[in-house]
Chain A
Amino acid sequence: MTATNELPAVAVSIDDAGRRVLTHPEADTVTPGELVARATAMIPVLRERASATEEARRVLPETFDDFLRAGFFRIVQPRRFGGFEMDMETLQRVLVEIGRGCPSSAWTLGILAGHSWWAAQFPEDGQVEIYGNEGVALLPTGIFGRGGSARRVEGGYLLSGRWAYQSGVDLANWLGCGAFLEDSDPPVALSFIVPRDDGQVIDDWHVMGMKGTGSKTVTIEEAFVPDARAITLASVEAQETPGSEVHANPLYRTHLMAFISIEVTGAAVGAAQGAVDVLEEMGRTKPVRARGGGGGETATFEMSRPSFRRRLAEAKTQADSARTMLFAESARLMQVSRDQAATGEKMTREQVAEVTLHQARIIQMSVQAVKQAFIAGGTSATAQGHPMERFLRDVNVIATHQVLRLDSAAEAWGLAHYGL
């Protein structure tokens, strides 16, 4: 990392084929382990900023700067456009560490870093424009058709719509928007990337937990979008997007739904790990006072109580199981992409639903871990601003997500399995 506040400059060049290439100075040197170490080093400062992040209802500018400097948004971004082109497991390992400090910041990072992969699905011209000179493409997304409508015009589309839950929109320089083509029958779903300034942000993110994600509503009125920044959802479903031809790495042939189901799970696992961290500290520092003993000197701490130790161990094994499962599933998806790139096979609806089902399971394990830690933490850990009460709110809000809810994930998988 550089000592100054300067961001590492991305080199712009033209390759032998005359294509524009962006190269990050760390592209050949940075390792997944180094990125995870950078994330681990941020935990204390993220935890300090967590209350202010909630209050701001967005990721703080200083956290955003830290993430930019650490290169976190480039983890699954194509090398050709200034990325590190690593894998989902690396992204999730970073997210879990960030989540131990601040789940809201982790979630936002998961969305924005994950969607620098999404931008790589677009036509080559579009990608050149989107990644720009810096190779920074930060876009929250309402990827799917719902929310918008698009009218065909010469050279592109006129897009209008309203998209809720745009996590990280305050940090974005682009927006991802799904829309249905006007008057199409059967309905044609399209997905666009438009400049951030084409949209209006409505400051409506007032929720119980994950307050810092700033998942606000965005509206757009009749913005022109050229063809280069439009793709059909049919090409996404078929795993044959224009971008999948631009990049050789099978990473860019991964099924969208499978990819984005995993994208943010690290935030939930990070909350679980964070709750265990906090409880472990309480074990060593929270005094146990004898009944009626007043506030006198204490010789013992929570760790001396068997009931405390029981809950800590339970929380830890749940949180660690969730983490193991998340990394294993991330690696598995990457393996599927590599295998299928070799054979030309596509993921079945059931395979995709299974990825999501496992994410729902991991999130449930994270919820259970936090619950155990919360109970053992006692009433003092419910004081507003205490990390434990924040982890409880955060992980439970994640578990309500419409795709990652166990009920909906289970039903989606069951229907796919039986071909219903």
Chain B
Amino acid sequence: MTATKLDIIRQRDSEGRVVLTHPEAASITREELIARARAMIPRLRERAAATEEARRLLPETVQEFTDAGFFRIVQPKRFGGFELGLDVLEEVVIEVGRGCGSSSWALAILGGHSWLAGLFNEEGQCELFGDEGHVIIATNLSGNGRASRVDGGFELSGKFVYLSGCDAANWLCVGAQMQEEGPDGPWIYAAIRPEDATIVDDWFVLGMRGTGSKTVLAEKLFVPEHLTLAQKAVQDQEPPGRYIHQNPMYASPMLGFLSIETTGAAVGVALQAVDVLEEIARTKPVRTRGSNAVTAYVYETPIFRRRFAEARSLAEAARTLLLSDARDLMARVLEYAPQGRKFSGEELLTYTMNASRLVDMCVQAVEHAFAVAGTSATVEGHPLERCFRDIHMLSTHNVYRIDQIAERWALAHFGLPG
């Protein structure tokens, strides 16, 4: 596919501010986006092995996502986005995950973070979104870089791990601690250009290989003030962008948004395992011991059906729960933002805890599918063995580790320090 130059409409509003309008902004619907994602499933499935091998999102997949508008789903309308809800992004991420878990994860991060760009100040957003409103932002927001104040901005250095999708990105966003003010001092999020940093090719892992979640090194990079966000402002649910866009989505708390963002990939992988099992069911023969005669197909056996139903009900339940939480976050933001009400730590951790719960349901769904499919589905490159590796890999992510999330939620609930 060739890169199509989009006809983004550039205008200035009555206050002289730049406005970018995507030609589909007024007409695009949730249903259309889901249909586009669904249509990609067979191609994504075909490319899944090559994606693993490349250990990154394939360029043709990036192009398809771009053409379909997937990076613009939660992006501000003013800067060329569709400004639909997080629930719509998740529905798309889920469908993509039915084709390729890695591509789905990378899309969730990169597509979700066009929302993050909408939190910066006016000048920052104008630069991030540029002329095309085409932002693909890979991130590590955990704040393990170092920043020092310099004239007009900051000097940034650091080693940042797990930047999913960084090869496809045109921006990187990383967290860094202010050096002058000690370990408990403030920190910032800083947007930098990938070409100014070094990507270390170190993503060799069990599963989700295609996310290309590599390490990024930055050394003494100058970051102008407007390309930074104070972490405190984000934590206090008062980022500058909240006052730039009418849509209260840009007042969403980051922890709530990010906890939900990537979870669609887990649901997609679980549904993919169910899809694959369904295909196996009708084609995999059952042979009588000591004979080559085909006596039945596996779907005709009660044990198979039991596992199949179990896997499906877990995967479907996970989907329902994820979309409910995504809609719930969007509904609450709509309610809270006009009142200036903030989410409590306990409320936010509830989203995270629910996410870890439903990822566990996805793991179980895949395990049921894997267990009943038999050894033939463990052949390298078989979608089911990939689903198995992907879902287990995904479940190790910090956000989904129930032990620590449960503890953080409960401490918040009882008002205990920690």
Contacts and interface: CB of A to CB of B under 8 A. Distances in A.
Nearest to A318: B357
Contact of B309 (A310, A362, A411): A411
A74 B308 CA distance: 39
B221 interface: no
A407 interface: yes
A304 B310 CA distance: 37
Nearest to B313: A361
Nearest to B307: A410
Interface string B386-416: 0000000000000000110111011101101
A310 B406 contact: yes
Nearest to B311: A410
Interface stretch (B18-26, B94-102, B111-119, B315-323): B315-323
Interface string A213-241: 00000000000000000000000000000
Contact of B406 (A283, A314, A406): A314
B318 to A, nearest CB: 9
A360 interface: yes
Contacts of A407: 306
A317 interface: yes
B410 A312 contact: yes
Given A406-B310, A407-B306, A414-B309, A313 B320 contact: no
Contacts of B403: 310
A410 B309 contact: yes
B354 interface: yes
Interface in B319-377: 320-321, 324-325, 350, 353-354, 356-358
A413 B309 contact: yes
B277 to A, nearest CB: 11
Given A310-B403, A325-B321, A411 B411 contact: no
B229 interface: no
A298 B290 CA distance: 70
Contact of A313 (B299, B306, B313, B409): B409
B390 to A, nearest CB: 22
**B contacts with A: majority SS:** helix
Contact of A321 (B306, B309, B357, B405): B357
A358 B313 contact: yes
B302 interface: yes
B402 A309 contact: no
A317 B353 contact: yes
A313 B317 contact: no
B283 to A, nearest CB: 13
A418 B313 contact: no
A251 to B, nearest CB: 22
Interface residues of A, number: 37
Interface in A393-420: 406-407, 409-411, 413-415, 417-418, 420
A259 B170 CA distance: 52
Contacts of B413: 280, 312-313
Contacts of B313: 357-358, 360-361, 410, 413
Contacts of A320: 350, 354
Contacts of B324: 324-325, 328
A320 B328 CA distance: 13
A414 B410 contact: no
Contacts of B47: none
A321 B321 CA distance: 7
Contact of A324 (B305, B321, B353): B321
A198 interface: no
A70 B305 CA distance: 44
A414 B306 contact: yes
A293 interface: no
A361 B305 contact: no
From B308, B325, B406, B413, residue with most partner A Cβ within 10 Å: B406
A317 B354 contact: yes
B219 interface: no
Nearest to A309: B410
Contact of B308 (A280, A358, A414): A414
A388 interface: no
A98 interface: no
Contacts of B357: 317-318, 321
A373 to B, nearest CB: 13
A313 B308 contact: no
Contact of B414 (A309, A314, A318, A358): A309
Interface of A: 280, 283-284, 303-304, 306, 309-310, 312-314, 316-318, 320-321, 324-325, 328-329, 357-358, 360-362, 365, 406-407, 409-411, 413-415, 417-418, 420
7 contacts: A324-B325, A357-B309, A358-B316, A358-B317, A362-B317, A365-B317, A410-B305
Given A357-B309, A358-B313, A414-B302, 20 more contacts: A284-B414, A303-B414, A309-B410, A309-B411, A309-B414, A312-B406, A317-B353, A317-B356, A324-B325, A329-B320, A407-B306, A409-B309, A411-B302, A411-B306, A413-B309, A414-B308, A417-B305, A418-B281, A420-B299, A420-B300
A-B pairs with the 4 shortest C-beta distances? A414-B305, A313-B406, A309-B410, A410-B309
